Structures are given as C-alpha cells and as structure tokens.
Amino acid sequence: MDLRSLGSRLSLAWMLVIWPYIVKSAPLSLDTAQVDRLPGTPYWQMGVAPATLFSASALSWGYRKEAREIRNRYIPNFRSHYDDYLQYAPAVGVFALKAAGVKGRNRMGRAAVSYIASIGVMALLVNSLKYTTKVVRPDGSKANSFPSGHTSNAFMNATFLHKEYGLVSPVYSIAGYTAGSLTGIGRNLNNRHWISDVLAGAGIGILSTQLAYLFVDRLYKDEGDWAGIYTSESTGQRPSFLSLKLGYAHATKPLVDYFELGASSERGFELGLEGAFYFSRNWGIAADFAFVSFPIHTSDRFDLPESQSQFEILTQPMGGLRFAIGPHYTYQVAPKYNLQMKLTGGVLGMAKGNVSVKWEGHDDDNNVLNDEFEVVNFRPKRTWTAGTGLALTRMLNRELGVSVYGDYYYARPLNTYETLPSPLDPQQEYYFKETGRTPFSYFTGGLRISAFF
C-alpha cells in the first residue's frame, strides 16, 4: 500500500470515528424527530449513511482499476458535461420552490444560511482530503482525484432538498438523490474519478449538510420555521426502496482455461443499483442494474531458456452489465428487520476481451525484445439471464436500511473463442475458432444500503 492510499484510508477512518461523537450530542429537530430516527434510536445513527458510504469507498479501493476497466471496455469514448450542471439541480429546486411559496422546513432566509454553512463544511472536507491524499485521476490529468468534488456537491444539494422538502413529499428526496447518483456515475463515465472517489464524495456531501443543519439549528434555537406542519407516514406501509450494493462474486466453475495454462476466473466483484416499487405492504416489482466482473488469473511468467527470454500472460476480465426485473417480496420478521426475496429475469450484456502475451528478453543476436501482442480473443453475445436472491435488512431509521444480501444468476451466452496471428506461431499451426453456448452462473453476496420512501 502506498502513502497516498494509506492517507486516504486514514482520512476515512478519522471520519468514521469522529462522526458518531459529533452527532451524538445533537439537539432534536423537526427532521430528526419525524424522519431521521425511529423512537428509541440513538442520535448517532443519523450518521450511518455517510459512514456506510465511507466504508464502501475504503472497501472498493482495491477494485477501482477493475471498475474502470469495465467502463473502458463498454463505453471508452464517453464524453458529456451533464454532470457539471446536474449537481446543482436539487439546490436550484429548493430555492425555486420557496420563491413559488411552497412551504418546507424553513423560510428562504434560514434555508440560505443552512445552505451556505453546508457549502463551507463540504469545501473544507473535500479540499483537505484532495490536497492531502493527492490521488492521481484515472485520466492522469491531476493528482487531486480523491474525493470527487462534483459528487460531494451533488449529494450536499440532494440532502439540502431532502431536509427542506422531504416531509412534503418523498418525490423530492427521490429526485434529489437520483440527480446526485447520476452526477457520480457521470464522473466515472467521463473518466475523471475512481469509484472510491465517488462513494467518499457522496458520504461527504450528506455529512456536510447534516452538520450544517445541526449548527444552524443550535444558532436559531428552535426546530425550524414551520415545525410540525407536515407529518410522515409510519415506516413499512409500502417499503419501496432504492439501494446501492457492493459485493463479492463467485462463479460456480472456471469460466475459461486457455491452453491448459491454469487460467481461471472464479472470483470477482459486483457493483450496482437495485430498487423496488411496492404496491402493498408485502409485494412489489424490483429492478436490478449491476456490473459484475471476474478478473482472469494465470501463472505470472513462463521461462524460455533457449532464447533467454520470458513471456507473461495478460488477460482482460470477463463479466458483464446486467439489467433484470421481477417480483419482490418483503416479510417483517421483527420490528426493525425485514426479510426480502426476489425472482428476476432480464438481459446480460457480456464484455468482449482478449488474452495477450508480453514478451521480454533477448534474441540470438542479443537484441532486446520487448513486445506485447494478442493471442486469443473471446466474443460473448448478449443473452437472457435469470436470478433469485435473499436479503436481510436492518432498518436504521425511517428512511435508511442496511442489508446483507445473497443472489444467484444463470445465463448461457453464445461465446466465440479465436486465436490470432502472433510471432510465437507465424504459420498459425494452432489456429482454432470455436463458437458455442457456455453456462455462466455465479453467486454474489455483500452489503446494500437502501433509502426507503
């Protein structure tokens, strides 16, 4: 682990440690009374959402290059500036609603004070980390990647909208956090940030607005300009949710074995969004959108004594982009615990890739050899997939839950494997091209943080 990685993780650890102590002494406000906590829940649990996102950032640190590899293989030329503008949309919405006379938590003046305080806290946290950790951006442009300032700003604005109008209608909260999520995704697609930068930025944005409101509430010494004019539904009437999940993936058998070199790809990771809209207390329809990636592991190097050289096998991960929908069921096993089950079907877009050889050494005339060339490529087709899964959710407050989940998915993509011309085999003596359907099934399991509405 280098110093930059260590610095980033220590910064995250500091936030995780200090946050509960900051919020534990917070005064009770309209937000915390009606939205942010269940009866009997400690005040420090208001910080679970930022803490979970910081933890996800730390856990994803080792997979950030694999996550970027998925982006580079699917949409390498993606360029858009929508994230530069969408980050401000929730805050613009707040001031537009207030200008139109729609009552929320506070009047225009107090809301503006809270917003300015949020900006100050966010700027302090983001810039302190950016210029301490000095993480290089994925595109190599600057060493100020961690955390994502755009994502921090977007989630700060989304939480501002949620604070001011979340009790008026959950639609406002959903719209705000959707804008924040799309901004974070845009930073990844534009190759400006790693996935760990975006997750930490989201946590900082939420944390900044939470802290600002605590400070401003103490300054005004009351619960909001229009405290008590709105009431919220009791938790669990219709448990619709939107969640971010990060987990481990394990294929039921090796996906590939090139030339009996021991290449396998059983272990991988999953990152995605999942949500469900409920028609009743128990039944709804779910949608799952996720990346799954399986890095292919081979022996490191192979010696060729006759030519005083070595070659190394280089592989691209296998995996794909999954979208599936289907029925979703929730059963309340205890006052704060829900068991969730699903059965989904949809489409799996598989990633194309190749196997390359990196040649190093000397030829017979002692000339230096240093070359890389493809020897095999694999071209899976888009296919149907089916899956099922279970999740146990612990409700942390009226709007937030953390789940442990386990899913299983099955598909039979049509794969084409083909050898390519190379200096190792100039006559193509071992040329082959194979096409056939290969079973592709895998288990995933991990943590999911869900916003309920």
Taking only the tens place, the pLDDT of each residue in 48-75 is 778 878 988 888 888 788 778 777 776 7
Q: Is the Cβ–Cβ distance between 294 and 332 less than 8 Å?
A: no
| Residue 114 predicted with pLDDT over 90 | yes
Compute the mean pLDDT over every residue in the chain, rounded to the nearest whole number: 79
Rounded CA gap, 300 and 33, in Å?
58
Q: Is the Cβ–Cβ distance between 151 and 180 less than 8 Å?
A: yes
Q: What is the pTM of this model?
A: 0.69
Sheet holding 301-304: strands in order across? Answer: 301-304, 309-315, 353-362, 368-378, 414-419, 433-437
Taking only the tens place, the pLDDT of each residue in 97-107 is 999 999 999 99
Residue among 8, 46, 11, 16 nearest 28 (CA): 46
Taking only the tens place, the pLDDT of each residue in 2-27 is 434 434 443 444 333 333 333 333 33
Better-scored residue on pLDDT, 192 or 267: 192
